[in-house]
Structure 1
């Protein structure tokens, strides 16, 4: 019955796959076509490198090794002259060449596998009969900048990607490309910057800048255009090797950091940057040192007002509020911002430990006065030319309730990761401000966030030692003390005259 129903299985019939004879010339032709396609792609992507190699080959063929050596010598001389005459364009060209080389040697080879393993590439399943394959789309490198410190890649985001998604993979990207650090910065819509740092230009202390040289204004043009540029005084170095310029005119500055983080270095670097303007009478320093004067008394000859106890600090701040209101009344309807002059200089109120005036005062009357004057100065003092520079250890709201009134904030080494966002704003740590990871052996290193700036910048304040502070105090005193020094002489090393507990 089973045979009638046909249920008996048929035996497997052995089969042989047919052989296809392909001529050798067809194989060679296909191989040559693939090689040619890769060469065309290489020529399109790297025309400058191909042109340079071709030029070297032609010179070597026509003039020999001697001609090639002479050509390279002439090129080196031209490059040296170019660097002396116009350093900015020369630096840009060198960075562009270095970036193209690193793009060819490193990023072209590693980019696709790194994007796949970090889930930054989009894989779309494609059905092909019984088989399922994946079509992969990769983010494209649109621009690359490179210097001796690191690389900056401008990336075009794929559909559905955000800068936050890339920020989550920053640590994986750092290890994949063997970088010291990786930071993600937002660009215009659809683009981001990925910064890979290979070396740390802030690993060694930054020496103080020459205030007496031909470029005392710090503009880099070789000319001394004035005592100091108050919209951005040089106080240190940035991670990219450029000057760190701290705005003072029209800005309040908050410097936050743990004990030993280098707050005093940032304060003294700022005072030193203002020194020429102090001597010229364009800036007055009103300094509050709640530690009894132990930290800032060395520069007393540069201070127009100097207070070391809570009572005198309250008086100083009340006087600053009075000056602010008087100037605001005079400038009403005349000007929108104050212009420093010798008759009406910019007043910079420096408070070494501002938390001691906001949270640690037990006297109710003094606390009321301080709680009233500081917010008034921070909310109304920028336009009339009365600005505040404050240093604090604990940036919490209960310690510093008016923290958000500081448009310029500097985060030095922090003890907790959450404190970074308290100082620089929400998400600052995810955007690369790892202030809690700064080593204890790097005082003065931190991150600065300017008003209206989305991404923090890593900086290091210049180190000003005690000898330089003493020299600075003798050379850049306030005008009244300068006249007194002219009468009595400089005196012994480190000596400065004192007039009723004030420098002037």
Structure 2
């Protein structure tokens, strides 16, 4: 009888191994929920008290001082109580559990213990957030959610809304200009910044809007999408004229809204609503750096003034900015710092200097700066962004080659609107 049971157990184990391998290859989501999640949840529950004690997450209600005769003795209180945890809720490639803090506790020690929790639960990473007072939420991921990406195709891309990648939470990474009108993107060479811009152009190309580009590297990057661009400036002189035309258009749109009693173009009737414009600016530093001559300084100041006006007034009037650069620092001038304050969306890829990461994320969250600086050279396309409602999150853009973005520009070239105010004069620039 024992031999029969042993043989049956071996057969069941072999069957589970074969089925598990097939399930992992064909339906990795099912494999996680049926095998991975129960194991990680069990580790989280059964190791919680021990991990809490070793990482100073437990609290004792007994005093740390005792009086022995005439001597006061201070020591570590025994029988510390770990904070109470909720049921580990399954998530895609991970789990989430809520911890109720003891009176007087703060989330700080939990942030410090994130690595210890990841090792104890054998998780790829653990993230700690405090959505409300008195509790923290621990999210553990079993594998790197940004490792292999494929477009989900499940996001409905409305006007001024583009799916550009995936968040580490498992959700789609969507840039929504209606929710966040202006964006700042920073990243060193080969960090994935150009790939993100190419993906953004490819997703915006089919939409009924105007794409305008400023590429002071002679148009080497954004010039690939000329067929879909309504205007392209390849030098600072051309950029000044283009920005000036956009500022003039802002005033005209203000007049239309005021005459119609509307506070934005989205309150106008369809026949009066002007075409939305997305302005892509690559290598912001080239607009601010000067050789010291009076003419160059005047151009740089004019660019700074125009960009700031577009950022301050453009959201309600359908003109949106995407400003990108390898290095963006306060040393470029006070205009850059003022412009940053108007760019609510932030995306920071791998950067070569801490000042750029600080400029992109420092005024929002110091933890995000540290995470951005930890992005490895091999993690091309990985960035820290504010696109998530929880504050900041790691994300990765979908691989999009310049050829794919150029093909999308050619395919949707007929969608390019002709706007008279974007026709640059004969002194420079390209007429559309």
* Smaller-chain TM-score bracket: 0.7 to 0.9
TM-score by length of 1: 0.67
* Structure 2 residue 136 is matched with structure 1 residue 192: yes
Corresponding residue number in structure 1 for 2:342: 405
- Per-residue deviation at 1:331? 1.0
| Structure 2 stretches lacking a partner, 5+ long | 1-7, 13-28, 419-427
Q: Distance in 2 between matches of 1:361 and 1:284?
A: 33
Corresponding residue number in structure 1 for 2:169: 240
Aligned with 1:349: secondary structure?
Answer: strand
Contact 1:96 1:144 in 2 (8 A): no
* Structure 2 residue 264 is matched with structure 1 residue 322: no
Contact 2:173 2:387 in 1 (8 A): no
Q: Distance in 1 between matches of 2:130 and 2:55?
A: 19
- Whose radius of gyration is greater, 1 or 2? 1
Give the CA RMSD over aligned residues.
3.4
Alignment CA distance shift 1:353-1:471 (3 Å): same
* Structure 2 residue 258 is matched with structure 1 residue 338: no
- Per-residue deviation at 1:322? 0.9
Within 5 Å, give how 1:94-133 maps onto structure 2. Answer: 102-103=40-41, 105-125=42-62
Aligned with 1:135: secondary structure?
Answer: coil
Contact 2:311 2:320 in 1 (8 A): yes
Q: Distance in 2 between matches of 1:99 and 1:473?
A: 43
Contact 1:409 1:449 in 2 (8 A): yes
- Per-residue deviation at 1:98? 6.8
Alignment CA distance shift 1:419-1:234 (3 Å): same
Contact 1:301 1:503 in 2 (8 A): no
Alignment CA distance shift 1:203-1:96 (3 Å): closer
Q: Distance in 1 between matches of 2:298 and 2:363?
A: 35
Return 256-265 or 228-237, whichever deviates more: 228-237
Query: Which of 318, 324, 328 pairs up with 1:391?
Result: 324
Corresponding residue number in structure 2 for 1:372: 305
Query: Which of 121, 137, 155 pairs up with 2:99?
Result: 155
* Structure 2 residue 379 is matched with structure 1 residue 442: yes
How many matched pairs? Answer: 379
Alignment CA distance shift 1:432-1:313 (3 Å): closer
- Per-residue deviation at 1:426? 4.7
Corresponding residue number in structure 1 for 2:213: 287
Q: Distance in 2 between matches of 1:415 and 1:120?
A: 36
Q: Distance in 2 between matches of 1:134 and 1:163?
A: 22
Query: Which of 78, 90, 105 pairs up with 1:134?
Result: 78
Q: Distance in 1 between matches of 2:209 and 2:216?
A: 22
Alignment CA distance shift 1:147-1:389 (3 Å): same
Q: What do residues 449-495 of structure 1 show as CA deviations (whole Å, max 9, x unaligned)?
A: 149x452111111222133123212211144699xxxxxxxxxxxxx
- Per-residue deviation at 1:417? 5.1
| Structure 1 stretches lacking a partner, 5+ long | 1-64, 70-90, 220-227, 483-499
- Per-residue deviation at 1:101? 5.5
TM-score by length of 2: 0.78
Contact 2:232 2:429 in 1 (8 A): yes
- Per-residue deviation at 1:442? 2.1
Query: Which of 322, 332, 353 pairs up with 2:283?
Result: 353
Within 5 Å, give how 1:146-225 maps onto structure 2. Answer: 146-204=90-148, 206-207=149-150, 218-219=155-156
Higher relative contact order (CA 8 A, sep 6+): 2
Aligned with 1:285: secondary structure?
Answer: strand
Q: Distance in 1 between matches of 2:368 and 2:100?
A: 18
